[in-house]
């Protein structure tokens, strides 16, 4: 589990087949083999690293590359990085699984970020509800027909990738897991499978 509070903006060092190497510092402070690190909101497993040189590698499956924005990454691209939440930590964002639900498209960049999403994701978005965009916990300002908006403060813009995203860029979307659970529970009352 993550919180959607990005700890560090890293960069893609290389991408060779399944191996994705990321340059960073902060998230390596207590890294160990098999550790989880959210990369643009996608939970990846550390398979090798060098803290003194400032990088780690993760194996990324073709499924993950094709179903997330990770498939768009090239060397030099910025990424949002976050280690999993510990039980003693404050939950500053919201509960984030690191399981990307869909890829959205930026219609308007920050500060009034507008993202286009498919109808199967849009139904989970509610005014003042939580959503994760590229691993960043944000609050929905307004769900619209096929888009939604979030307000991004200058600090968030400066320390995450959201400040460098442009119109047409693809972003990873994770909807609030509580919304999915509520839908599933209510389906039983409605007699749906």
Are residue 134 and residue 76 in the same domain, yes or no?
A: no
Could you read off the pLDDT of 147-179 as tens digits, one per residue? Answer: 999 999 999 999 999 999 999 999 999 999 888
- The highest-confidence range among 20-29, 80-89, 184-193, by mean pLDDT, is 20-29
Q: Is residue 59 part of a domain?
A: yes
Are residue 120 and residue 165 in the same domain, yes or no?
A: yes
User: Rounded distance, CA 173 to CA 193, Å?
Assistant: 25
Rg of the chain taking only CA atoms, in angstroms: 17
Please report the pLDDT score of residue 91 as a whole number. 77
Domain enclosing residue 57, as ranges: 8-82
Decide which of 30, 52, 82 is a domain's last residue.
Answer: 82
What percent of the chain has pLDDT above 70? 98
How many domains is the chain partitioned into structurally?
Answer: 2
User: Rounded distance, CA 190 to CA 193, Å?
Assistant: 9
Are residue 71 and residue 121 in the same domain, yes or no?
A: no
Other residues' Cβ atoms within 10 Å of the Cβ of residue 121: 18
Are residue 129 and residue 172 in the same domain, yes or no?
A: yes
For residues 137-174, one letter each, b for 16 or more C-beta atoms within 10 angstroms of the residue's C-beta and e for the rest, the string is: bbebeebeeebbbbebeeebbebbbbbebeeebbbbbb
Phi then psi for residue 26, to 5 deg, are -55, -45
Please report the pLDDT score of residue 192 as a whole number. 61
User: Rounded distance, CA 49 to CA 58, Å?
Assistant: 9
Q: Is residue 3 part of a domain?
A: no
CB 80 within 8 A of CB 160: yes
Residue 99 pLDDT grade (very low, low, confident, very high; cuts 50, 70, 90): very high
């Amino acid at each position: 589990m993550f919180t959607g509070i990005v700890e560090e903006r890293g960069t893609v060092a290389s991408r060779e087949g399944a191996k994705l190497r990321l340059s960073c510092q902060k998230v390596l402070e207590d890294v160990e083999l098999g550790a989880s690190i959210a990369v643009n909101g996608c939970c990846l497993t550390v398979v090798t690293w060098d803290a003194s040189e400032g990088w780690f590698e993760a194996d990324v499956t073709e499924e993950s590359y094709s179903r997330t924005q990770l498939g768009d990454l090239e060397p030099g691209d910025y990424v949002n990085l976050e280690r999993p939440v510990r039980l003693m930590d404050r939950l500053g964002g919201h509960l984030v699984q690191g399981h990307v639900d869909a890829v959205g498209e930026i219609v308007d960049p920050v500060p009034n970020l507008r993202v286009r999403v498919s109808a199967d994701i849009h139904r989970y978005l509610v005014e003042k509800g939580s959503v994760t965009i590229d691993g960043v916990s944000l609050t929905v300002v307004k769900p619209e027909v096929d888009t939604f908006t979030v307000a991004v403060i200058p600090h968030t813009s400066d320390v995450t990738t959201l400040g460098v995203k442009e119109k047409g860029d693809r972003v990873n979307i994770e909807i609030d897991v509580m919304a999915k659970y509520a839908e599933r529970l209510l389906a039983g009352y409605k007699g749906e499978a």
